[in-house]
């Protein structure tokens, strides 16, 4: 089982959009489990306070309650994830272009979305 460490935007997309290949993900990519860094949970708590993002954040909070939480903390999720990848080989679930570039430079892998399908970028 490979753990995919999810950032906030990835989780919101996963929780609020219909993902076409979610049922075949084991076949296409392999056995994965999505994990949620503590810093991302903290970001979602902040987004709930924002009227424009409140609904998506609430749906996402509910979606992640059965996912494993890992102790990656910090004030800013992207920086915390980059620091984590520097020390551990990891797959990061993100849609953030800048974060993708930085993770790839560190030899990390990216899971993202393309046309409402989950893809693994190398």
Per-residue pLDDT of the chain (122 residues; tens, 9 = 90+): 889 999 999 999 999 998 988 888 888 778 899 999 999 999 999 999 999 999 999 999 999 999 999 999 888 899 999 999 999 989 999 999 999 999 999 999 999 999 989 999 86
Q: How many CB atoms lie within 10 A of CB 54?
A: 12
Quote the pLDDT of residue 5: 96
**Taking the domains of the chain in order of start, what are their residue ranges?**
2-121
* pTM attached to this predicted model: 0.90
Q: Which CATH class is domain 2-121?
A: alpha beta
CA-CA distance, 17 to 114, in Å (whole number)?
12
Quote the pLDDT of residue 57: 97
CA-CA distance, 101 to 42, in Å (whole number)?
24
């Amino acid at each position: 089982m490979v753990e995919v460490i999810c950032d906030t935007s990835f989780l919101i997309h996963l929780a609020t959009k219909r993902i076409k290949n979610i049922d075949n993900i084991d076949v296409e990519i392999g056995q994965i489990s999505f994990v949620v860094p503590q810093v991302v949970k903290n970001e979602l708590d902040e987004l709930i306070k924002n009227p424009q993002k409140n609904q998506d954040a609430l749906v996402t909070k509910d979606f992640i309650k059965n996912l494993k939480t890992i102790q990656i903390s910090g004030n800013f999720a992207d920086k915390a994830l980059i620091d984590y990848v520097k020390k551990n080989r990891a797959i990061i679930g993100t849609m953030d272009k800048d974060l993708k570039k930085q993770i790839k430079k560190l030899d990390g892998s990216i899971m993202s979305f393309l046309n409402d399908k989950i893809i693994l970028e190398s």
